[in-house]
C-alpha cells in the first residue's frame, strides 16, 4: 500500500491576516522613507548674517617698534561694526595690546584699512616670530589672522 501524504493549505482567515500585516508593514516602511526624504518648510525666515574676514596685515617695523595696519573685509550680508582689535602673542596666548575704540562700520563687500590700529608695539613683546591679530564686531563675530614678524 502506498501512503500518500495530504498537504493542507493555510486557512483563509490566517491568509487574510498575513496579507493585512504585510500591507501594513509595507505602508509603514514607505511612510518612513518618504518622510525622511521630504523635508518640512522652514519655520523661520532667512536671516542675514554678519561675517568679517581679515584680508591681510601690513607690519611696519624698525629696530625697536612695530606698527600694524589691518585690512578687514565684510563678507556678510549686513553692515558690520568693528568694535575691538586684539594683538596676541600666539606662543604664550597672552594679549599684547587691545584697541577697543574702533566703532567702524563696513558695508557688505567693502574692505576697510585700520591704519596703525596698533602703534609703537615694542619689538620684545613677542616670544616668537609671529603675532595674532583678532578683530571683533559689536555682535561678537570674530576674524583672526596670523602675522609673520620681520
- What is the pLDDT at residue 18? 92
Neighbour count for residue 149 (Cβ, 10 Å): 14
* Residues 126 and 150: beta-carbon distance below 8 Å: no
**Residue range 1-39, pLDDT digits in tens:** 677 777 777 788 888 999 999 999 999 998 888 877 666
| Phi, psi (rounded to 5 degrees) for 37 | -90, -30
pLDDT > 70? residue 133: yes
Taking residues 102-126, what's their average pLDDT?
91
pLDDT > 60? residue 44: no
- What is the pLDDT at residue 52? 95
Q: Which of 147, 123, 122, 125 is nearest to 135 (CA)?
A: 147
**Residue range 46-79, pLDDT digits in tens:** 567 899 999 999 999 888 899 999 999 999 999 9
pTM for the full model?
0.68
In Å, how far are 46, 71, 85, 87, 137 from 82, measured between CA atoms? Answer: 24, 12, 8, 15, 4
Neighbour count for residue 1 (Cβ, 10 Å): 3
Residue ranges with strand state E in the chain:
52-61, 65-74, 80-89, 94-99, 104-106, 111-122, 130-137, 142-148
Q: Which is higher by pLDDT, 44 or 129? A: 129
Enumerate domains of the chain plus CATH numbers: 52-148 (2.60.40.10)
| Phi, psi (rounded to 5 degrees) for 9 | -85, 175
Place of cell 574702533: 102
- What is the pLDDT at residue 80? 93
**Residue range 69-108, pLDDT digits in tens:** 999 999 999 999 999 999 999 999 999 999 998 999 999 9
Integer Cα distance of 27 and 84 in angstroms: 58
Amino acid at each position: 500500500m502506498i501512503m500518500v501524504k495530504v498537504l493542507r493549505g493555510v486557512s483563509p482567515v490566517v491568509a487574510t491576516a498575513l496579507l493585512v500585516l504585510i500591507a501594513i508593514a509595507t505602508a509603514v516602511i514607505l511612510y518612513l522613507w518618504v518622510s525622511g526624504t521630504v523635508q518640512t518648510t522652514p519655520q523661520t525666515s532667512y536671516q542675514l548674517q554678519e561675517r568679517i574676514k581679515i584680508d591681510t596685515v601690513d607690519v611696519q617695523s624698525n629696530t625697536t617698534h612695530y606698527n600694524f595696519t589691518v585690512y578687514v573685509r565684510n563678507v556678510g550680508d549686513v553692515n558690520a561694526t568693528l568694535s575691538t582689535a586684539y594683538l596676541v602673542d600666539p606662543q604664550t596666548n597672552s594679549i599684547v595690546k587691545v584697541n577697543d575704540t574702533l566703532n567702524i562700520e563696513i558695508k557688505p563687500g567693502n574692505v576697510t584699512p585700520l591704519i596703525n590700529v596698533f602703534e609703537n608695539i615694542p619689538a620684545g613683546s613677542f616670544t616668537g616670530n609671529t603675532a595674532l591679530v583678532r578683530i571683533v564686531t559689536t555682535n561678537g563675530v570674530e576674524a583672526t589672522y596670523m602675522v609673520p614678524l620681520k
